[in-house]
Structure 1
């Protein structure tokens, strides 16, 4: 994190946070060759829409050239739903984070074809981006849709939604900002509900222990369609930062 833009922490506390941030990863890196269109997205749109981890803390008003509500999505996959949201809600600024380069290339190419100016993208680990680039109290919404469920019990500790992660995210939300999750794995939905219900500084928008209805503005993703074909339900959870 940039020392110039966030309050100083005691050395031990900062060290613990950095240790946690390095340990937890928000993704499984998948190999993939990019198509011509995906490569074109990088070549033509990255200079306009790409953000670099190494450049440190951003000023969202400067990055987008305007003041507007900021929505950050962790792990946007191939980017189709993020494109849809940015197109349907031009009054909002969107930051997407995805480590899979073909997905980033596809989003960039489609954003350019749609003429969208309210999307910026990181191609890096979301945990590191949040720690090093996103100012505290700057986000109106954080989105985490259909993360890897790590469905085997022995792998549950690898799930990204954990108590420490919830608190790391809370710092980035404005008071009144919302952490919005969705999953098609019932056990992961229960895990998310347990973690977030116990998390300090949050309240469930739908009420204690309740899942939220899918809002109209959240597109049905390919993961959701796949889950529904397999007979899975879909669960949305929305938790607001209260302090």
Structure 2
């Protein structure tokens, strides 16, 4: 992986004392009160670690213009990130590291604990991992007899409004893992977590297939920017 080159016309500004002083002041402000930095300055600081000899404020603002927020920028696909002038492999990888770190931090409290008794923690993890994704994704959580997480797997990734999920594949994987129960999770990129008719029909088909082999479907959770919807809480399971 090669370092990202400075943007055209920025080489001299990157080495200027004013630029170095600005970055130091920004770093100090972050250490003093990280929550006070607006999204573009947080991106600017992060990009500065990836592209140390470049004024990264214009690039940070370009990313906010393109994607809308810090969360959307780090969630964006690598190729979409690289479509922004000035973002190369190193900068894109740095942004994706932040997203992966956030997912792992959110998942840590879920591991080795009963998922059912840590439901709010599980929902926080699902929202962190999926709520801002630009396309639909199906995640399957496989549980043992004590409702402890055995495996957390992305089963399918689809388009902005559809992801195919095949009941036989869910059953096959659950049996291979010796799972006693499954929780289905998927996202709605539109932001509205309300289940669609196809979501409901597909969930019933998966439940029937799992029940036939003695495996319980605990819930199907839909997450979006506007919140989440639980099939069990809605009486759909």
Which structure has the greater CA radius of gyration? 2
TM-score (norm 1): 0.31
Q: Which has the higher helix share?
A: 2
